[in-house]
Amino acid sequence: MPSCERVLYGADYNPDQWLHDPAVLLEDVELMKKVHATSASVGIFSWTALEPSPGVYTFDWLDETMDRFAKNGLVVFLATPSGSKPMWMSELYPEIRRVNAHGQREPSGGRHNHCPTSPVYRQAVARINRELAKRYAKHPALALWHIGNELNGECHCPLCKNAFHDWLKQRYGSLEELNRAWWAGFWNHTFTDWSQIPTIDKSIDGLCVDWLRFMNDQHVSFLETEMAPLREITPQVPCTTNMMGTNRGTNYWKWSKTLDCISNDIYPLPDDRADTWRKSLGSDFTHSLMRGFAGGNPWMIMECSPSSVNWSKINKLKRPGVHLQEVMQAVANGADVVHYFQWRKGLGGFEKFHGAVVDHEGGTEGRVFKECAEVGRVLRSLSPVVGIAPARAPVALVYDWEARWALDSSAGPKAGTYGDRYTEACVENFRALRSAGVEVDLVAVDADFSPYRVVVTPALYSLSTETARRLADFASAGGTWVATYLTGYVDTNNRCWRGGFPGPCLREVFGFWNEEVDYLFDDEKVLVQGAFSGLDLLTEATDIVEHIHAEGATTLATVESEFYAGSPIILRNDWGMGQTCYIGARLAEEGYVAFYQHLAKELDLPRLSLPRGVVRKTRLGADGPVEFLFNYNRHEVALDLGEDTFVRVADGKPCRGKITLRPYDSLLKGVRVSDAAAAAKPVSHPTRHELQPS
C-alpha cells in the first residue's frame, strides 16, 4: 500500500486534457485541497501526450503536475498508459490491436483493446514504463504505480492462438492427453495436430475453461511485463492495477499473488426498489473479496462515482446520504484509499456526463462538490484505522473462478443464458450469513482454512480430488463445511465425476447421493419444510432442486412438493471431529437465513442481532476499535443502542438509547467525536471566482 497516515482520498485526474487552459490546472489543486484530497491517479490514458511520436517524449506537463502536487502536499498514483494505445502506434503495428471472437481485427480507437500477447506492444509498454520510472524515481509525489486500467477481455489473433497452443502443450504434454481431458471424441473433435485447435468452440467444454485460464494467465504475464522495469528502478514504490470485482474473465486470486496491493473499481447503481439493503450487502461481498485478495489486509477503492454514472440504462443521482455511506462502508470493510472516477468532467468524449467531483460549472457550490468535501473531512477523522488489518471473521466463503468458468461452459445446468449462477449462489449465501449476523471473509479455494470455524463453498461445481480432500480434512479436524446445490459435478477438465454426485469421494463425506437435478421454470417454486433449532421451517426453493437420497446424513429439511416430495434437501453429516452440511436447492432468502441462524447458534459463533439492513462493523484502530453503524435501508429503522454512544455523521450529534436510524444513516463510534462533529459542520466553500489564480 502507498504509505500514509490517513485514508487517501482523490480521483482519476486528466491534466493532459486541459493543457490549453493552464488556469484550470492551478484551480484543480486548490479545489483538491478544499475537498481534503490527498492524491490523484494521473496519466491513465495519456500515452500520446507523453510520447506523441515514436521515441519522442513530452514529459513537461507531467513534470509540472508532479511538482505542483508535491508543492501542495499531494501525492500521485502514477499510471502506466497501456489502457489505451496511441493512434500512431495502433496504425503502425496492427498486430497490437485485438482480434474479436469472429476473427475481425478491431480498428484503432476505443480502449482496453490491446493484444495481451503481442511482443511489439509488450516491448512498447516496457519502454514507456521504464522512461516513466527513470524520470520520476526520486520524485516526492510518486506514491504508487497504477498499472494500465481495468485490464481484461480476450484476443483471438494468431499470436494469441499460437501462445494458447504453447500453453496447452505445457499443460498436457501430448495431444492424446489433451483429447482425453477434453473428451474430444464427442462430435468427432479429436485433434490430430496442435494447429487445429481453435480459440473458441462452445461445444468443447474443456477447451472453454482452458481458454479462460490461458487468457487470464496472459493478462497476469502482461502485468508482470509492465511491472518489471518499475520494480527494477523503483523497488520502493508499490504496484497495483484496478480490478473489477467479480469480472468474469479475470481470476483475481492469481493476479493478487503478483501485485503489491489490491485496488477495485465499484459502481453500485442506485436502486429504486425498497430493498436497497440487498444491493449494499452485495457491495460488502465485493469489499470482502478485495480484503481476501489482500490477504486480509487493507485495500483500495480506485474508482467510484461521487454521483451518477453515464453508462447505465438510467443514470440516477445518488440519494442524500448514500454516497457518504458507500464510502464509509468501504472503509469499514478495510479500504484505506478512496478514489473517484473522476476529478473533473471533461468537455467532450464519452464520459462528459459521468459523475465527477468538479462539474462543468466548475465551482464549489454544487451539492456533489460539497458532499465530496464532507466525505473528505469524515475520512480524515478515520485516520486511526489506516494500515491496520480488519479482524478475521469466523466464517470463510470460497469464491472460485474455476468453478464459475466450468459451470458457465457447461450446457445443461441452468447456466449460460441464465446469467452468472455461480456468483449469484455465492452472493446469496454471503447475504444470508450477514443477515444472520455473522461476519464472513472471502477466500480462495486453495486458502488455509484452519483459522476458520466454518467454510462455505456455494455451487463448487468443479473441484479436484485434492480440494475435496482438503475441505473434508478441514471438517474432520473439527470444522463445519457447508456446500450447496451444484457441488462436485465435474473435475478440473469439466468432465463429470463417475460414481454419483457429489464427487469425488464426497458422497461419503456428505452422507448422501444426489441422483439427479431438476431445473425449474422461472416462475416455479417447490416447498421446503424442516425444523432447525426447535423452530419449524417452511420455505420455498426456486431454479435448481436436487433429488437427493440420504446415505447416513441426518435430514434437516425435505422437499414437500413435486414427484420427489419427501426427499431430503438440507442435510448434516458427522465427519471426523466436525461435520458437513448440504443445501441441495436454491432456497428463498428466509430459508438460507434460518439455516445460518441455526448453524451460528449451534456452533456458538459470534453474531449480532440487528434489524434487516442494519449493519454494525468494527474495524481495529490505533486507539482501540472503531465502530460503524449503517442503515442500508431507504426507510427509517428503530434501534436500541443501549449504553453505546455513537455519533451520527450527518449532523455530528451523539446518539444513544432508543434511536431512529434515518434512511442511509451512518453512525460512528471510537473516533474523536469532535472530529466527526466538525465533519458535519457546514463550511463556507469558496466560489470559483475566489479560486481564480492571481
State which of residues 1, 75, 160, 227 lies at the interface with Zn ion (CB under 5 A).
160
Among 46, 90, 117, 383, binds Zn ion (CB under 5 A): 117
Which CB sits closer to Zn ion, 3 or 123?
123
Cα 340 from Cα 13, distance rounded (Å): 9
Which of 35, 40, 115, 396 touches Zn ion by CB under 5 A?
115
Among 31, 42, 128, 155, binds Zn ion (CB under 5 A): 155
Element (H, E) at 237: none
CB of 20 to ligand GLA, least distance (A): 22
Q: Is residue 96 involved in binding Zn ion (CB under 5 A)?
A: no
CB of 10 or CB of 568, closer to ligand GLA: 10
Q: How far is the CB of 681 from ligand GLA (least distance, A)?
A: 31
Work out how close the CB of 309 gets to ligand GLA at its nearest, in angstroms, rounded to a whole number: 5
How far apart are alpha carbons 17 and 288 in whole angstroms? 35
Judged by beta carbon, residue 101 or residue 411, the one nearer Zn ion is 101
In terms of C-beta density within 10 A (0-12 exposed, 13-18 middle, 19 or more buried), how is residue 689 classed? exposed
How many angstroms separate the CA atoms of 135 and 81, rounded? Answer: 15
**Which of Zn ion, ligand GLA, none interacts with 18 (beta carbon under 5 to 8 A by kind)?**
none
> What is the number of the residue whose Cβ is closest to ligand GLA?
265
The listed partner (ligand GLA, Zn ion, none) that binds 149, CB under 5 to 8 Å by sort, is ligand GLA
Least separation, in Å, of the C-beta of 514 and Zn ion? 41
Helix (H, G, I), strand (E, B) or coil at 375: helix
Cα 534 to Cα 229, 530, 531, 602, distances in angstroms:
63, 10, 6, 11
DSSP letter, residue 3: -
Question: Considering CB distances under 5 to 8 angstroms, the limit depending on partner class, which of Zn ion, ligand GLA, none binds residue 303?
Answer: ligand GLA
Which does residue 157 bind out of ligand GLA, Zn ion, none, counting CB within 5 to 8 angstroms by kind?
Zn ion
Nearer to ligand GLA, 45 or 285 (CB): 45
Active-site pick, 51, 154, 226, 303: 303
CB of 148 to Zn ion, least distance (A): 16
Specify the residue for cell string 484503432: 108
First-residue to last-residue Cα distance in the chain: 37
Q: How far is the CB of 161 from Zn ion (least distance, A)?
A: 8
Is residue 163 a contact residue for Zn ion (CB under 5 A)?
no
CA distances, 625 to each of 153, 173, 415, 655, 673 (Å)? 41, 54, 43, 18, 14
Q: Between the CA of residue 576 and those of 111, 143, 149, 472, 688, what are the distances in Å?
A: 54, 50, 47, 9, 70
Give me the residues that bind ligand GLA (CB under 6 A), please. Answer: 149-150, 265, 267, 303, 309, 311, 341, 351, 354
CA distance 22 to 13: 14
b/e 419-438 (16+ beta carbons within 10 angstroms → b): ebbbbebbbbbbbbbbbbbb
Q: Please say if 150 is a catalytic residue.
A: yes
Catalytic residue among 27, 150, 540, 627: 150
Of the candidates 296, 376, 301, the one whose C-alpha atom is nearest the C-alpha of residue 331 is 301
Interacting stretch for Zn ion, rule CB under 5 A, among 71-79, 84-92, 113-121, 590-598?
113-121
Q: Which parts of 305-416 are beta strand (E)?
A: 335-340, 395-398
Active site residue 303: yes
Rounded Cα gap, residues 619 and 632, in angstroms: 18
Matching residue, cell 500512431: 88
Nearer to ligand GLA, 263 or 487 (CB): 263
The cell for 349 is 468524449
Q: Under the rule (CB under 5 A), what is the footprint of Zn ion?
A: 115, 117, 155, 157, 159-160
> What residues are annotated to the active site?
150, 303
